[in-house]
A and B are shown apart, each in its own frame.
Chain A
Amino acid sequence: MSTADDINAAPQISKISEAVIRIAGNSQDGIQAIGGFLARLAGRSEQEVMTFMTIPSTISGGPSIFQVRIGSGEVLSSGDEADLLLAFYDHSYLAHLNSLKPGGIVIYDSDHMKADDISVENLTKYRHLGVPISSLTIEAIGGTGRDKGKNVFALGLLAKMFGLNVPKLHKLLAERFTGKDPKIVETALNAFNAGHNYELITATELFQFKPGENVGQSQVVMSGNEALTFGLIAAGVRFGAGYPITPWSDIMELLRRELPKYGGQFQQCEDEIASISMAIGASWGGGVAVTGSSGPGIALKTEAIGWASMAEMPLIVVDVQRGGPSTGMPTNIEQSDINIACYGGHGDSPRVVIAPASVEDCFYTAIEAVNIARKYSTPVIILSDQGIATRIEAFKEPDLKSLMQDISPDLSPVTDHKPYDLSAPDGITRHIAPGTRVASGKYPVVTGLEHDELGHPTGSGKLHTQMISKRRNKLKKLASEFPVPKIYGPSEGQILLVSWGSAQGPVQEAVKLSREQGHAISAVHVRYITPLPPGLETIFAGFSHVFVVELNDEGFSGVGQLGALIRSHIPDPKIRGITKVDGLTWKVKEIINRALELAK
């Protein structure tokens, strides 16, 4: 068995600081598993990693890809072009060859694709290496032609090619299959070693990563949906309710399994409306409950969000956005729910909308959202997107001991209580939970009817005006507490790119790259969508152009949804949109080209 040291001794090794590897096959080939192993290994090797995957919307089968970008330095996006393409079939080869850099390496399964089928043009443009992956896997571990294990064989190939740490990978494989039949661990290791020992892999070029920069940091590797779920748990959320819908379901399934460990529970309900209603009921019970969904489900919940706004009930609503409208493109990325998140509902129903920027940010955003919901007694919508939800990233392990919160209800008696006290500073009031004794004998009602300070209905125009102001003013106060967004790059220049959600990484990388090319481009990222953070107008003043980069349609006004929202605060025609709805994440070059074109 060869070890990492043997590879170090090999002559033709190129030192690299990062690599983009794209694995293409069908969804049942276990390519997500290879990607997961690579990401986890990078996390354990103090490297940065970012992944990108597509899932077919069919239940089983269909083409699928997993892209991993591993870097010794900062990794901001999953990469525009791949250094290596691993193709399991001819259709994977044909569909993804154009994602490879010229001169890049393609490893294809020669059991599924003939060398004769490769065009001369492609042969000169890319380096090809045919490996009989399927048959060698069967040779190594036996079995039928059902292709089980070929993903692990391919992982062995990649480990050899990139000089990956073999003992660590062995450990990861063993951990992954622990608890199952011990033979399965053995089989996996055999498949891996067969790939790793495959001699001809040395025919192209071998690589070795420079040491990572995150030395001494304990890193965790997870998806955005996982980080968001654990953030909610750390925040003290102990009740949730939901209904299955992609890509929100991961969060619901994880909460269902995890919450009972903390004395909490998650309920799968009969529909979206029941789930938000149950969550609101539990929030009234004294906690901060969570519900969530994706596109169509959020539309169904809007009446109840309006109630939570009116009744001033703390609540977390997670929206993992997907392509819309209607059923839309359920497994594709899009950022087109700003309008429904910020404005969805009848009447004036202010709420808070926060969009996490990365997987790590999902964890902290969840805690922040819960604390805002409690402090301001308001619904908070966490606007995640498919790009963060399913992406795997490594990040510094949070200090869980200091972050874990206890927000269980305080039922100690009160002298008197007005749930909607108009004299409260900045209009910020909080509820007492049922079970709380009120010495005055006057008990509160929480309601969706316009109400007086005790929650009893009123038809008074004066009270309606006062209460509407109260609900607005408390969130204006919140906005004033938000930090001014930091500018990425110099504070003056030609173009300012504005990003939100998962676009942060690619936009910042676009700034880096374009500045190297001599362009005066900077960026600012907006996490707080509603209310907006202070200071944007001042930041915008330093630039000739402000382009809001977002994955939604330019609409009737020529700017996307965040662009339109910003324009309603800062009506400056220099604010324009760079938008697209092709269901794919941003490529760095695409952003730069669009920005330079628009600024002409």
Chain B
Amino acid sequence: MIAYHLIYIFFGLGVLAGGVNVVAQKNPVNSAISLLFTFMCVAALYILHGSPFLAMIQIIVYAGAILILVVFTIMLLALREPGRGLGKFWTMPQKLAALIVGAALAVELAIVAVQGLGDLAAPAGASLAEIASPATLGKALFSKYLLPFEVASVLLLVAIVGAVVLTRRPHGTAAAIDAPHADETIAPPAGDEQGGQA
């Protein structure tokens, strides 16, 4: 049991250290990799809580789809000068706004954590492995929570259509001929998110 707690604390500290490092790094790519580290540590925490399914989804969706898109964007924008950080572009009002939003989020999290402490006990008559198994989650998702699930997929579909519309240029312009695979480069993350969710 001691070993469990030590491992738990290790990954918990990893989440915190990664999160702090995301903000502290000058280079945006380093920040993104810190964020990757944080996601992995969160996945490890899910596993320690007995839910490998959530852990895997966490890695596939956040690390495999969303963060990859972020890294792509950073690399495409900073193409000319690798190593130039975004840190110096932050003005004082921006820093202040970030501080306020961050503090609000922290308070919110604290409230949720305190309120949630009462609900920690698992329902009687079922083992943790059963509750967290993909089969149980799947059944719940397609019966009790079918409507939110479908609404979320429609939302993602709207996002995909939006991305396609935004990247589409009018036919016949020079740009459309010039960049035949612009659509395809933008499209993957949107589709991948959908694949990860489904």
**A and B: bona fide binding partners:** no
Contact surface of A with B, Cβ cutoff 8 Å: none
Contact surface of B with A, Cβ cutoff 8 Å: none
